[in-house]
A and B are shown apart, each in its own frame.
Chain A
């Protein structure tokens, strides 16, 4: 099973189709929760596969970022471009990369999105309007700027959505890109995923201002500070920012606060994270919070919730077995496609 669009509407969904104050209906919540749970399940599986010796390379899970991934990804219209970083695989799923795609990508198979040319989250597909990230975090921002620039020049009404960690805001490209977008009022949205640690570096060693969103003032653009563990806030603020951009009012800087619930990568045990930070993060686990909303506010039954979870687990199981049976690329294929025709 793959998520490319919303799962089929149930009777209850059709009955309860009204949009709530966040602009979401029951079917939307179903999609959002499924996506968040899928991200969690998929990435926990990845880490397990590593520990089992069934994966090579590295993986950087987004546990704690699921609300940011699903909430922002869901706010995009079909023509908009996603320029993701590594902790928002949920947004990949919403844009059309299936669990099979992503598992083949992690396993370096010939039928993955990069055909084995790059690993983990470094995949893109222009047809799905997903840009492949690089390891130089922040380099994605000027690229998003360029996409927004082209959109404006061609009057295409398309918005570029991109991300950066709070650590990445220190790099030059953050400043150069955001400034360029602001000066030219480009249709771009930049979400800072502030999860309190850049690898092992805590925020007090990373920046001196109170909140990173304060920098928006310096660039002459609106800044929005939100709880990144609340999928509704993410969805709502991203939607507003995208609308602003689409209306020609230029870029918005969103700072979404969350907690990284695992190490920086599968090889990092995050012992530098103080216990109370981790405990607080676990209390505010976005997936659990979303589940609570589903049950309390949208009246999903626990059976329905279990069904959704089981479907997502099955999707991941399927992805693993599919990918492990998929072929590796031929060695000499390394020479292909250095240049486009």
Chain B
């Protein structure tokens, strides 16, 4: 077992997959000698050489398109967007080219696009977004968003081995968070795409969440436990496909649901989950389905604005108490 931070887990996942399969290679901006903007790829250039840890020009569309071309050839590229926010400049290659290729003419596109996403303090509107909702509605793409080092490594491996284009959202603020470091097995392991995980079992309210908000939800659940309310925290881990069965089972057990995500409220994927549950578990609901999310604005820079913008433990607690009292 090796104690790893979230970031170290991703690095070791990359390293192991590149060692295991010579078709796996990394491409992106500043990932080679510089080791990546967040140092995720640090050390990999020395180990695997510049053919497999490739510094590209500043060109997201070309990066993603080239990743698709290489994937068509049977390689398994792992493209990095320096910040998830920059994926928009490669949007077309992802949603119209990569996502639709297998459906249209049967050629597999086994590629991964790693996206450092989520808010770091004062990162502002273009370095802090959670863009998963834009892609959630693209059939042909898969999306994962781990919240722990174990899942970060396991899901990265699963994504690399998957024969479809996979968006991998790694939350920047979890990279070096010592509080969530874990002992990881030294043998190979994967976390299957499409499976959620109950981080905390409970009976009174279900929280569905992913990414960093899982940890905020757990904090809130602990506070409510002091009042005798036991909140079940379900970590989605995969956003597309997502684990509908586990969600329905949990809601049927607790009959009250809160969805928490760091992405903004309107059009965030929580709305889709709520619609599905309202449809398929209507008779198991003893309260309306509620969501805690960021407010519907661009991400502001200054600290007081930012803290108003963001969901946090306090806001989750308020929502949980309301639900419990309903």
Give the interface of A toward B (CB within 8 A): 81, 113-114, 117-118, 122-126, 131-132, 134-136, 139, 141-151, 153-154, 160, 172-173, 176-177, 179-180, 183, 337-341
Which residues from A are CB-within-8-Å of B275?
A: none
Docked CA distance A114–B92 (Å): 21
For this complex, 15 residue pairs linking A to B, each with C-beta atoms less than 8 Å apart, are A113-B105, A123-B105, A131-B107, A132-B101, A139-B61, A142-B65, A142-B66, A146-B66, A150-B69, A150-B75, A153-B25, A176-B57, A176-B59, A177-B65, A183-B57
The residue that A179 contacts in the complex, of B59, B74, B77, with Cβ under 8 A, is: B59
Docked CA distance A142–B97 (Å): 10
- The answer to whether A118 and B70 have CB atoms under 8 Å apart is no
Which residues from A are CB-within-8-Å of B57?
A: 176, 179-180, 183
- The answer to whether A146 and B65 have CB atoms under 8 Å apart is yes
Docked CA distance A183–B71 (Å): 20
The residue that B105 contacts in the complex, of A125, A135, A136, A173, with Cβ under 8 A, is: A125
Which residues from B are CB-within-8-Å of A180?
A: 56-57, 59, 62-63, 66
Whole-angstrom distance between the Cβ of A312 and the nearest chain B Cβ: 26
Whole-angstrom distance between the Cβ of B139 and the nearest chain A Cβ: 5
For the complex with contacts A142-B62, A177-B62, 19 further pairs of A-B residues with Cβ separation under 8 Å are A114-B106, A117-B104, A118-B104, A118-B105, A131-B107, A132-B101, A136-B97, A139-B65, A139-B97, A141-B65, A143-B72, A145-B69, A147-B73, A150-B70, A153-B52, A180-B56, A337-B103, A339-B142, A339-B164
Q: Does B181 contact A (CB under 8 A)?
A: no
Docked CA distance A166–B19 (Å): 43
Q: Does B291 contact A (CB under 8 A)?
A: no
Chain B 72-98 residues near chain A, CB threshold 8 A: 72-75, 77, 92-93, 96-97
- The answer to whether A149 and B62 have CB atoms under 8 Å apart is no
Interface residues on B, range: 35 or more
Which residues from A are CB-within-8-Å of B65?
A: 139, 141-143, 145-146, 173, 176-177
Whole-angstrom distance between the Cβ of A295 and the nearest chain B Cβ: 39
CB within 8 Å for A131 and B72 given contacts A124-B105, A139-B93: yes
CB within 8 Å for A153 and B75 given contacts A113-B105, A124-B105: yes
Whole-angstrom distance between the Cβ of A172 and the nearest chain B Cβ: 6
Scoring B65, B71, B101, B109 by chain A CB atoms within 10 A of each residue's CB, the highest score goes to: B65
Which residues from A are CB-within-8-Å of B71?
A: 146
- The answer to whether A160 and B69 have CB atoms under 8 Å apart is yes
Closest to B140 in A: A338
- The answer to whether B68 and A143 have CB atoms under 8 Å apart is yes
Which residues from B are CB-within-8-Å of A125?
A: 105-107
Docked CA distance A337–B109 (Å): 13
Docked CA distance A221–B139 (Å): 38
Q: Does B67 contact A (CB under 8 A)?
A: yes
Which residues from B are CB-within-8-Å of A114?
A: 104-106
Docked CA distance A131–B59 (Å): 22
Which residues from B are CB-within-8-Å of A146?
A: 65-73, 77
Whole-angstrom distance between the Cβ of A142 and the nearest chain B Cβ: 2
Which residues from A are CB-within-8-Å of B66?
A: 142-143, 145-146, 149, 177, 180
The residue that B102 contacts in the complex, of A113, A141, A183, A340, with Cβ under 8 A, is: A340
Scoring A122, A150, A177 by chain B CB atoms within 10 A of each residue's CB, the highest score goes to: A150
Whole-angstrom distance between the Cβ of A318 and the nearest chain B Cβ: 24
Whole-angstrom distance between the Cβ of A143 and the nearest chain B Cβ: 4
Docked CA distance A338–B138 (Å): 10
CB within 8 Å for A134 and B69 given contacts A150-B75, A173-B61: no
Which residues from B are CB-within-8-Å of A145?
A: 62, 65-66, 69
- The answer to whether A176 and B106 have CB atoms under 8 Å apart is no
Whole-angstrom distance between the Cβ of B137 and the nearest chain A Cβ: 13
The residue that A338 contacts in the complex, of B70, B72, B93, B103, with Cβ under 8 A, is: B103
- The answer to whether A339 and B140 have CB atoms under 8 Å apart is yes
- The answer to whether A153 and B62 have CB atoms under 8 Å apart is no
